[in-house]
Structure formats: C-alpha cells, structure tokens
C-alpha cells in the first residue's frame, strides 16, 4: 500500500479526488485502489512540557532555570490522539509513504515529525501541492520527489520549534516568578518573536508620547507663465534659521518676502524633465496582501489570513496562500490567459480588467530563480462567483486577481518636471507630473493625479500673482496599524540601530513568517500587551512595563532577525543546527541572570502611573520556590500548533 499523509483533511480530499482509482472511506482515511490518503489536523504533536523531562519541573521555580532538555520529546496534542492512532495503524501496512505537507518550512515539519515519531523506517517521498484544483493536484502527483531533498527544511523548522521552547519556557518562567516578587499576579509571557514585535509598538508609542511639535513656515507664490499658471515654493537659504530637513523655523523672513512678491517678475532659471516607466506591482505574497487589504478595506492581518485560507481550501479559488514569494513559475505564463479568463469571467470589475489585458506581454513576475518552495498568490482558474462569497472574501480575491492581471498591462509612463524660478533674488521650486500612458494604473486607483505643470521653456519670464505664508507644525510618527506593523515585521532591518548588524540583514529578512505574523499580533492582543483602538495598535500599560523590565536586547529585533537568517541558512544551505542551538543556550544564561524584581517593580509602578520605587535597580530575584498564582500554568513558549511563535 502507498500511504499519502496530507497536512489537513481538505488537502487529503483534493489528493484523493485527483487519483484515477475509485474512492472509498475508512476511519480517518480515503482509499483509492492501492493508495490510501490520510491526514494530520495541523500539528498532531507538540513539544513536551518541562515536567515530561523531570516531574519536579511542574512547579515553577527560579532555581530550575534554565531548563535544557537532553533528548527532545514530543507529545500528542489532546485532540489529535485518535488521528495519530489511525496513522500508526496505516503505517503498519504501508510499503511507501508520501509526505504531503504544505510546501513550506512548517509544513515539512508537521508531517515529518509524525512519520519519525511513529518509527517509520521505509522510503519517504515528497508531494508538493500549492493549488487544490484537480488538474493542479494531478500535475503535482506526476512530479513526486525524494523527501531527502527537504531534510534541511525539516531541520530548520525543528530548530525553530526547539528554540521557541527554550526561549519561551525559560524567560516566561523567569519573568513570571520575578513578577510575583515585584507584586504582579499573573503570567508574563516572553517570546523570541512576540516580544520584539511588542517592543516595536512600545517604542513607537513612546516616540508619539514624547514628541514635542515644532512650528515651521512655508511660503508659496502663484506664478503666471507664458502658457498658464502654477504654484512654486520658496527655498530659503542657509542664512535663515532651518532645521535638519531645510524647514524654516522663523515666520518673519517668509512674511517679509511675501509682502514684496505680488507683481514681482522673474524667470525660469532651470528646467529638468524626466520620462519614467514603472512596471506593475508584482503579484502578492501573503504579507504584502495583508498590508494592502488593511489599508484599502481595514481588514486585520488575521482576517486576511483566514479569508485566504477559505479561498484556498473551501472555495479553491487561489493557490497556496502562506507564501513569502512575489513571483510565479515561468511555466505558468503560457496558461495564464485561460486561467484568468476562467477565474474572472463571472465578475464585472474583473471582466473589465480582463478585457484590457494583453497576454502577449511577459513581465518580470515569471521568474523561476525567484520561486522557492511556493510562489506568489494567484487565481487557480476556477470560476469565481463573487456573489456567493462574503464581501471581504470577494474584496481580497479581486486584489489577488488584479495583481496578476496587471502583469499583462503596459508600464505606467509619466513625465516628471522640476522647475526652478528666480524671483527677487530668491529661489522658488515647482514640481509636476504628467501621465503619458496610464498602463496598469487604472486597475489600482481611479483618483485623479495632481495636475501637471503647464508647458515651460527654460529662461521664460514669470510674474507673481499672489503669495502667502502657511504656518505648519512637525507631526509625530503615526501609531502602528495592522498594515504598518506587518510591513515593519517584513522589513525589520529598517528598525535595527546597530550599523554592523543592519549590514548583515537582507531587505527581506523579517520577524516571523508569512504564516505567523497575523497570529503574533493576535497573541499580543489576547495576552493584554496590545490594544486595538480604531485601526491603531497601541501598547497597554502591562505591555510597556514588560518591555521596560526586560534586557533591551530581548525587546529589540536584532537577535530574532539574525536567528531567522541562521534558520534560513539551515534550510537553504544545509548548515548544521547544533551551533545555532548551542549559541541560544549560552545566550539564555546571560538573559536569565538579568531577571530583576526591582527593575520590574519600578516598571509596573510607572505603567500604573504610581510613584516609582527607588531608581536603584534592586537586588536580583532570589532563587526561591514560586509559581504563578493565576493565569495559564503552561508557558506560552511551548509549541501550540503550526507556525507557532512564542
């Protein structure tokens, strides 16, 4: 018997329906001839709790830390025992096993850990399915690979799970017990990803809170030129009081010049014209889609992920959604016309966009070198009757289809004009943009662009019709939203202060993964560290106090971003995981030594707005027995399911 183990029931059904043999149902599986298809339910196994290694660890005590498993153990998840028993029984009669986890790091771990936990010693192949429609699954079944090729992916995911356990269990217990000594009654959860994300929000909130607005002043002049009129802005010289961005800090020079300008004549001293061509935005990765859907429709990151899962599993309208890639396989280009015609024919806006597509065009989106285990989100070709979808599902599907359709539109062609005028010996500048060819732009926006400048010739005369001074103020940074926080997690190098570390980070290295970023935000909300106010995400007093009490490095992204880079090296280059885990353990010893009841007491008091204790840091927490009085006894650092991040 050939046994296929899928990641979830929906994938198992899609695989079984693509097999040529007649199907029959048995408990926990589908039989099709000599092939049996069974499934996991997400993670069937999870990292064992500390007391599985030593019963004494059931009590939370500082003198137990750090807890460092010798031989790692997995334990069945409570609701998964019956399905695990089904797979155990089927393995006894199998001659070959096919691993059909999702095509990503966590999907590789999810099925393979079950195969190894149940002691299978026979051959294992790998089936990669990114589209649940029958033709796509049939093509995937014709390209089954050796699972050995994906062992580095498994080792990286396994290392991630163990690192999360070590970091989350030890630091959560340390800060929870220290919190009890500081007077806080409850669990203080610390994790290698969630805590740096919380730190981003806490620091942004502090910038907003501490921001002191400064006035600045701008002077404009409406000019008559040979073939029209335009507005130009004064560029004050260095003899005037300016800030580091060249903004004028005193009103008097602008006001004095404004009174002299009406009726003054000058000339166009310099003219620069530049034609630009901009290709369409690439198809979406999950995070890029979450950013756009949050901005356009106000959807949370988790809502977008859930919608994509329904579009993928239930409706079979899109390809695998948990992708970090924005490119498509080159072989998909030839079938793109039929795919998009099939997907878009039942929706009026999509039909309109489809009618303008030129399928002889080939954009840079089709690039095998940029496609890894999965490709960008795209329609599957199944007809999308959006009237039968929830509104948010239809909105998200249109975004996904639009970005693929846009690859068959011409570039946006614009002409940018920069003009510099001399008036009363002073410099005034104007900018304008003219759309030469709208290309793909109408698919993305129906808003009118800023009007272009009238036709200009260098050296021509101009005359001031009117002038005025505007009083403005510097503005604080905007609070994080789902969109901007997801974008920050994607591009975490921008928030790294250490230049040496920043140089080691590639632009695409980030906090979390496509599959976990939405969950990280929701976890911080559920644990009371963040609160959502309208669209803004703000840190609570407890969240701010936790960050203030931790060593600075725990709440900053540098360590975690570098960890993701090392995990990437394990997955992509086959690096040995042992040095990564060893470095983490060494790091833990130093972090645990920093647990400080005095510092935490002060941070909690300041968060409550109380008079803070003595500014002295206090004595390090004693290694006495203690456990959290209320809250979950189990550390949030333990693995909780696919893609969990503590």
| Residue 409 among the catalytic residues | no
Farthest-apart Cα atoms in the chain, separation:
95
Q: Checking phi first, is residue 577 left (phi over 0); if not, alpha (psi -120 to 50) or beta?
A: alpha
Give bridge partners of residue 379 from the DSSP assignment. Answer: 318
Q: Which helix (H) or strand (E) element contains residue 400?
A: helix 391-405
Check if the beta carbon of residue 66 is closer than 8 Å to that of residue 592: yes
For 471, phi and psi rounded to 5 degrees? -90, 125
For 562, phi and psi rounded to 5 degrees? -70, -35
Q: Is residue 431 helix, strand or coil?
A: strand
Other CB atoms within a 10 A radius of the CB of residue 596 amount to 22
Distance CA 290, CA 190 (A): 25
Q: What angle do CA 219, 221, 222 make, to 5 degrees?
A: 150
Burial class (CB in 10 A: 0-12, 13-18, 19+), 646: buried
DSSP string for 477-495 = PPPPBHHHHHHHHHTGGGG
DSSP 214: -
Residue written as tokens 């007809």?
Answer: 383
Cα Rg of the chain (Å, integer): 30
- C-alpha 197 chain-centroid distance: 11
Residue 221: which of 420, 416, 417 has the closest Cα? 420
Q: Which two tokens stand for residue 306?
A: 């859930």
Distance CA 522, CA 374 (A): 25
HSE on the CB side for 286, CA within 13 Å?
29
Give bridge partners of residue 223 from the DSSP assignment. Answer: 230, 464
Catalytic residue among 154, 320, 495, 529: 320
DSSP string for 105-153 = HHHHHHHHHHHHHTT--S-EEE---S--SHHHHHHHHTT-EEGGGGHHH
Check if the beta carbon of residue 481 is closer than 8 Å to that of residue 294: yes
Q: Is residue 207 helix, strand or coil?
A: helix
Q: Which two tokens stand for residue 311?
A: 């579009």
For 254, phi and psi rounded to 5 degrees? -70, -45
Q: Which two tokens stand for residue 258?
A: 């404004």
Give bridge partners of residue 433 from the DSSP assignment. Answer: 416
Distance CA 323, CA 343 (A): 20
Active site (catalytic) residues: 320
């Amino acid at each position: 018997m050939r046994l296929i183990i899928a990641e979830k029931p929906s994938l198992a059904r899609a695989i079984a329906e693509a097999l040529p043999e007649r199907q029959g149902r048995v408990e926990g599986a589908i039989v099709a001839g000599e092939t049996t298809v069974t499934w996991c339910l997400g993670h069937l196994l999870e990292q064992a709790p500390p007391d599985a290694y030593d019963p004494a660890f059931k009590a939370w005590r500082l003198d137990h830390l750090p807890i460092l498993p010798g031989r790692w153990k997995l334990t069945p998840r409570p609701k998964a025992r019956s399905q695990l028993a089904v797979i155990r029984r089927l393995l006894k009669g199998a001659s070959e096993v096919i691993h059909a986890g999702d095509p990503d790091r966590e999907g590789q771990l999810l099925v393979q850990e079950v195969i190894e936990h149940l002691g299978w010693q026979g051959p294992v192949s790998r089936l990669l399915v990114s589209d649940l429609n029958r033709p796509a699954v049939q093509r995937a079944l014709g390209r089954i690979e050796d699972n050995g090729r994906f062992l580095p992916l498994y080792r990286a995911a396994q290392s991630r799970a163990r690192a999360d356990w070590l970091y989350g269990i030890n630091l959560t217990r340390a800060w929870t017990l220290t919190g009890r000594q500081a007077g806080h009654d409850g669990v203080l959860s610390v994790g290698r990803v969630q805590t740096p994300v919380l730190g981003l929000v806490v620091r942004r909130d502090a910038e907003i809170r501490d921001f002191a607005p400064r006035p600045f002043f701008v002077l404009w002049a409406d000019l008559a030129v040979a073939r029209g009129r335009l507005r130009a802005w004064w560029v004050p010289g260095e003899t005037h009081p300016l800030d580091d961005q060249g903004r004028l800090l005193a009103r008097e020079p602008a006001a004095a010049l404004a009174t002299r300008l009406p009726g003054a004549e000058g000339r166009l001293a310099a003219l620069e014209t530049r034609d630009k061509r901009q290709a369409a935005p690439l198809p979406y990765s999950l995070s890029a889609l979450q950013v756009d859907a949050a901005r356009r429709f106000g959807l949370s990151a988790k809502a977008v992920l859930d919608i994509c899962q329904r579009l993928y599993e239930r409706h079979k309208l899109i390809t695998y959604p948990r992708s970090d890639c924005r490119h498509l396989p080159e072989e998909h280009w030839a079938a793109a016309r039929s795919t998009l015609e099939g997907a878009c024919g039942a929706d009026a806006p999509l039909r309109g966009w489809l009618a303008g597509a030129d399928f002889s065009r080939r954009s840079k989106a089709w690039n095998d070198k940029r496609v890894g285990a999965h490709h960008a989100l795209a329609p599957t070709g199944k007809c999308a009757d959006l009237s039968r979808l929830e509104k948010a599902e239809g909105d998200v599907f249109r975004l996904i289809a639009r970005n693929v359709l846009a690859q068959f539109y011409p570039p946006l062609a614009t002409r940018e004009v920069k003009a510099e005028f001399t008036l009363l010996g002073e410099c005034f500048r104007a900018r304008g943009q003219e759309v030469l060819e709208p290309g793909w732009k109408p698919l993305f926006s129906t808003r009118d662009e800023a009007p272009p400048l009238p036709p200009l010739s260098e050296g021509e005369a101009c005359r001031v019709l009117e002038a005025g001074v505007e009083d403005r103020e510097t503005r604080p940074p905007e609070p994080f939203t789902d969109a901007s926080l997801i974008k920050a997690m994607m591009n975490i190098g921008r928030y790294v202060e250490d230049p040496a570390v920043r140089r080691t980070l590639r632009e695409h290295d980030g906090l979390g993964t496509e599959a976990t970023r939405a969950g990280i935000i929701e976890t911080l909300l559920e644990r009371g560290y963040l609160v959502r106010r309208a669209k803004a995400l703000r840190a609570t007093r407890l969240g701010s106090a936790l960050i203030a009490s931790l060593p600075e490095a725990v709440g900053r992204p540098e360590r975690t971003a570098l960890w993701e880079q090392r995990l990437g090296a394990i997955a992509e280059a086959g690096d040995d995981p042992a040095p990564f885990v060893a470095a983490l353990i060494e790091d833990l010893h130093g972090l645990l030594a920093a647990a400080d009841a005095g510092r935490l007491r002060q941070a909690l008091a300041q968060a409550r707005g109380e008079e803070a204790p003595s500014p002295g840091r206090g004595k390090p927490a004693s290694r006495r027995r203690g456990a959290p009085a209320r809250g979950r006894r189990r550390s949030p650092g333990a693995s909780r399911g696919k893609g969990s991040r503590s």
